[in-house]
Amino acid sequence: MPDEPRVVFTPSGRRGPVVSGTTVLDAARGLGVDLDSVCGGRGICGRCQVVPVAGDFPKHGLVSAIDHLSATGATEEQYRSKKGLATDRRLGCMAAIRGDVVVDVPPESQVHRQVVRKRVEVEDLVIDPVIRLYYVTVTAPTLERAAGDVQRLLAALRDEWRLELDVAAAAVAELQSALGAAGGAVTAAVRDGDEVVAVWPGYWERALGVAVDVGSTTIAAHLVDLASGTALASAGRMNPQIRFGEDLMSRVSHVMLHPEGADQLTSTVRGAIDELIGELVDEAGVDRGDILELTVVGNPVMHHFLLGYDTRPLGEAPFAPATDAALDLRAAELDLAVHPAARVYVLPLIAGHVGADTAAAILSEAPHHADEVSLVVDVGTNAEIVLGDRRGLVAASSPTGPAFEGAQISSGQRAAPGAIERVRIDRGTLEPRFRVIGVDAWSDEEAFGDTPATGICGSGIIEAVAELFLCGLLDADGKFAADAPDRTDRMVADGRTHSYRLTESVLITQNDVRAIQLAKAALYAGVRLLMDHLDIDTVEQIRLAGAFGSHIDPTYAMVLGLVPDCDLSKVSAAGNAAGAGALIALLSGDARRDIERVVRSITKIETAVEPRFQEHFVEAMAFPHRSAEFPNLAAAIDLPARQQPAGVRRRRRSREASS
C-alpha cells in the first residue's frame, strides 16, 4: 500500500492524500468534509458513522477496498455491540486509512444535513444546528494552577475543538456540579458557536428544543431533538386568553378599557405555554432542564401580549408594533421554566398586522426560493397575504373580519364537532346534503343517522354559499334570485327577504351571504393589490395556510372568488405552515438569518392607504366576479348560464397602456 493513501469522500467529492493511519474523522476535518462528532473521536457518540465503498473509481484514479481501512478494534466493537452499528458502517474516528479508499458520509452523519421540504420545487433546507454538543475532558485544578472552572472548560474546548467561547452566567453553577460529579469529563452545549449554555457530567447526547405557535385560538408546541430534528412530543390547547375576548381585537379592546389588565393577558399566555412545556416533557419522559432552545411565532397581537408589550397601538392606525425585528431572549424573561440558560428566538414581524406567524409560513413555504409566483394566504380575523417569487415578495393584511371563522354568521360556530363543514346542493332538486365535523358519513348516508348539526363553520358556510350560487339560487351579486322561493320550499321567508333552510335549525340568510361577500371581497382585494404591486395578472401557485386553509376546498374558494384564478391542481392547503416555520427556525441558524433577511426585503403594503384597495373591494363583491379573470375556474366548474357575468373587466395593464 502507498505511504500516502488517498481518500475520497462522497457525496462532497472532497479528496486528498493523507498520512497512513489517519482516522477517517481526522481526514474529513482536514479536508473540510462535514462529518459530525460529539465525543471528539473517542468512539462514544457514534455520530461519525461512515460507509466505506469498495470498487474501481477511474474518475478518481483509484481502487477502493474496505480493508484499506484498519480492522475494527475493541472500542468500535464495543460500540457495535452496545449501541448497534450497521454491518457496512464504520466509526470514522476509529477507522484508520491505510490505503486508497472511498468513504461515503450518510446524511445523518452530517452536521449540516439537508432536509427535504414539502414543496418539491423549492430547494432543500440545510440544517445548521443552533445548539451543538461537545464532549471534553477538563483538567483538574491543582494548588499550583487553580484556574476557575469556567476558564478550564474554555481551555479544554479551545484545545480539543478549537472553539473560542464564553460561558453563559446561568450555566456556571451547572458546570461546577458537572465537574464535581464527573471528574472532568463533561458534555457542553454550545449555542450559535459562541456560548456554552449547558453542561452535563460525562457523555450526554440530549439537547431539546420547543417550537411554539401562539395562535389567538389555539397554542401548539412541539418538542424536538435539536441534533436529529426528531419530534418527541406535541401538545396543543385553547389559548386561555379567550376569556378576555373571543378574537384578537376584543382582547386589545379589553386592554384599552382595562390597561391594568394587560399584565394578566401576558401572564395568561406565558402560563399556557409553560403548561404545554410540562405536557411535552411528561409525554417524552424528559426533563424541563433538557430544553435549551425555543422558537415562538404568532400574529402581532399575540406576539406583543407574550412579550409584555403594549398591544393598544396594534388596535388603531397606524398600527406600529413595538419592534418588528427578530428577538433573542432568555426563556426566564418569558417566565418559562426550562434550562436556566435556555433562549427563545422570536421570529420577526413583517408589519404591524402581518405577524411572525406569516414570517414562519414564508420560511416553511419558501416562496422567496421559488421560480414561480406563489400566493400564501393565512386566513384568520385578518387574512395575511404574501405574494411573490425569488425576485421579491410583497405582503399585506386584509380586514376579512371573523366571518370565515363562523362568527357574524346567523348559525355560525367554530370548526368543532357538530359543525357543518361540507355542503352540496343538488342542481336539480335543490336539496342539500352535508357533513358534520366528527362524523365520516354525509347526511344522506345511512351511517349519518340523526346526527344533530349544532351550527355551520367557516368552510361549511363557504361551500353553502358557493353551492347556492352554482345552483342558481343566488345570483352573481349575492342576492337570492327573485324566483328562488318558487323553485324550492327550502327557501323560507325571513323578514323582507328569504333564507335557505339547510337543516331545521341552520339557515343560510341573506345577511350570512353578505358577510361572506364582504370577507371574501376584502381577501381578494388584498391579493389584487399585491398583484398590482408586482404588476402581474396571474399567480402560478396558491397555498392556503392554517386551520382554515386546511378545511376549505380550493375549488369553492375559487368559486366564491376568495383567491384569484389559478390552475386548480396548483391550489392546495399548506397545513400549519406557521408551526412548520417555527420548527425550521428551531433547527437551523441559517434559516433564522434567511427569514430575517427576507422579512427586511419584503415590500409591506398597507391596504388602508391604497385607494385601489377600495376599488378592488367593490369589484370583488360579486362572485365569480369576472369570468375572464377566472379561465381555470370556468374550465373546471360548470357555471350555470345565467351566472355568467355580462362583461369583461378591462385589464389593468391595458388600462394603463391606454392612459
Residue from 249, 38, 1, 33 nearest 135 by CA: 38
| Residues ≥6 apart with Cβ < 8 Å to 502 | 411, 420, 423, 432, 434, 453, 456, 464, 490, 508
609 binding a second copy? (CB under 8 A): yes
Among 173, 231, 441, 628, binds a second copy (CB under 8 A): 173
For a second copy, how many residues bind (rule: CB under 8 A)? 45
Residue 178 binds to a second copy (criterion: CB under 8 A): no
Q: At what angle do helices 356-365 and 577-587 cross, to 10 degrees?
A: 80
Question: CA distances (Å), 98 to each of 2, 6, 34, 88, in order?
Answer: 8, 9, 21, 18
Which of 19, 71, 325, 618 binds a second copy (CB under 8 A)? It is 325
Q: Is the dihedral of CA 261, 265, 270, 274 positive or negative?
A: positive
Is position 167 an interface residue for a second copy (rule: CB under 8 A)? yes
**Interaction of residue 327 with a second copy, rule CB under 8 A:** yes
Q: Which is nearer to a second copy, 210 or 334 (CB)?
A: 334
User: Alpha-carbon distance 291 to 342, whole Å?
Assistant: 7
By C-beta, is 208 or 351 nearer to a second copy? 351
Options 240, 308, 392, 575; binder of a second copy; rule CB under 8 A: 308
Q: What is the rounded CA–CA span in Å between residue 223 and residue 231?
A: 6
Closest to a second copy by CB, 203 or 319: 319
Beta strands (DSSP E) in 11-86 are 15-17, 49-53, 55-57, 62-64
Site string for a second copy, 127-166 (x = CB under 8 A): --------------xxxx-xxxxxxx--------------
Least distance from C-beta 346 to a second copy, angstroms? 9
Task: Give one DSSP letter per residue of 387-453, joined into a string.
Answer: EEETTEEEEEEE--GGGGGTTTSTTB--SSTTEEEEEEE-TTT--EEEEETT--SBTTSGGGTTPPP
Stretch that binds a second copy, among 39-47, 276-284, 318-326, 430-438 (CB under 8 A): 318-326
Q: Is 261 in the site for a second copy (CB under 8 A)?
A: no
> Least distance to a second copy from the beta carbon of 609, Å?
4
**Smallest separation, CB 184 to a second copy (Å):** 12
DSSP per residue, 95-149: -BB-S-EEEE--GGG-TT-EE--SSTTSPPEEP--SEEEEEEEPPPP-SS----H
**Part of the chain binding a second copy (CB under 8 A), chosen from 43-51, 82-90, 201-209, 326-334:** 326-334
Out of 58, 84, 285, 318, the residue judged to bind a second copy by CB under 8 A: 318
The one among 228, 267, 323, 451 contacting a second copy by CB under 8 A: 323
C-alpha 469/C-alpha 480 separation (Å) is 9
The three three-digit cell numbers of residue 200, written as one number: 452535563
According to DSSP, the residues that pair with 237 across neighbouring strands are 219
Whichever of 71 and 169 has its CB closer to a second copy, that residue is 169
Applying CB under 8 A, among 71, 320, 618, 635 the residue interacting with a second copy is 320
Q: Report the half-sphere exposure of 413 (CA within 13 A, side-chain side).
A: 17
Q: How far is the CB of 520 from a second copy (least distance, A)?
A: 24
The C-alpha atoms of residue 106 and residue 435 are separated, in whole angstroms, by 47
Q: Is the CB of residue 306 less than 8 Å from the CB of residue 329?
A: no
Stretch that binds a second copy, among 39-47, 74-82, 323-331, 452-460 (CB under 8 A): 323-331
Rounded to whole angstroms, how far apart are CA atoms 587 and 573? Answer: 24
Shortest distance (Å) from residue 399 CB to a second copy: 13
Q: Which position among 351, 376, 464, 559 is part of the footprint of a second copy (CB under 8 A)?
A: 351
Query: For a second copy, which is the closer residue by CB, 352 or 478?
Result: 352
Strand partners, 328: 345
Give CA–CA dist 241/266, Å, rounded: 9
Residue closer to a second copy (CB basis): 2 or 180: 180
Q: How far is the CB of 191 from a second copy (least distance, A)?
A: 17
Cell numbers standing for residue 198: 449547558
Nearer to a second copy, 72 or 323 (CB): 323
Sole window of 127-135, 183-191, 211-219, 601-609 interacting with a second copy (rule: CB under 8 A) = 601-609
**Cβ closer to a second copy: 224 or 297?**
297
Of 536, 465, 559, 456, the closest CA to residue 503 belongs to 456
Q: Does residue 175 belong to the site contacting a second copy (CB under 8 A)?
A: yes
Q: Is 181 in the site for a second copy (CB under 8 A)?
A: no
293 binds a second copy (CB under 8 A): no
- Residue 584: φ, ψ to 5°: -60, -45
Return the residue of 317, 492, 618, 648 that touches a second copy, per CB under 8 A: 317
606 binds a second copy per the rule CB under 8 A = yes
> With respect to a second copy, which residue has the nearer C-beta, 348 or 388?
348
Does the protein bind a second copy through residue 192 (CB under 8 A)?
no
CB of 604 to a second copy, least distance (A): 8
User: Taking contact as CB under 8 A, which single stretch among the options 275-283, 405-413, 605-613, 615-623 is the one that binds a second copy?
Assistant: 605-613
Query: At closest approach, how far in Å is the CB of 578 from a second copy?
Result: 20
Q: Coil, strand or helix: which one is 10?
A: strand
> Considering the rule CB under 8 A, would residue 336 count as an interface residue with a second copy?
no
Nearest to 27 by CA among 90, 78, 74: 90
3-state secondary structure at position 494? strand
Indicate whether 176 belongs to the interface with a second copy (CB under 8 A).
yes
Q: Cβ of residue 616: shortest distance to a second copy, in angstroms? A: 18
Using the minimum distance from each CB to a second copy, give the nearer residue, 180 or 452.
180
> Of residues 129, 321, 367, 645, which one binds a second copy by CB under 8 A?
321
Q: Applying CB under 8 A, which of residues 161, 203, 319, 442 lies at the interface with a second copy? A: 319
DSSP state of 164: -
The residues in 222-251 that bind a second copy, with binding defined as CB under 8 A, are none
- Name the amino acid, one letter, at 487: R
Region of 310 on the Ramachandran plot (φ > 0 left; ψ -120 to 50 alpha; else beta):
beta
What are the φ/ψ torsions at residue 29 (nearest 5 degrees)?
A: -60, -45
The alpha carbon of 654 is separated from its chain's Cα centroid by a whole number of angstroms, namely 39
447 binds a second copy (CB under 8 A): no
Query: Cα angle at 380 between 311 and 248, to 5 degrees?
Result: 25
Tell me the closest approach of the beta carbon of residue 349 to a second copy, in angstroms: 7
β-sheet bridge partners, residue 375: 387, 542
Q: Which is nearer to a second copy, 194 or 371 (CB)?
A: 194
Nearest approach in angstroms of CB 350 to a second copy is 11
Contacting positions for a second copy (CB under 8 A): 141-144, 146-152, 167, 169-170, 172-173, 175-177, 180, 307-310, 313, 317-325, 327, 329-330, 332-333, 349, 351-352, 606, 608-609
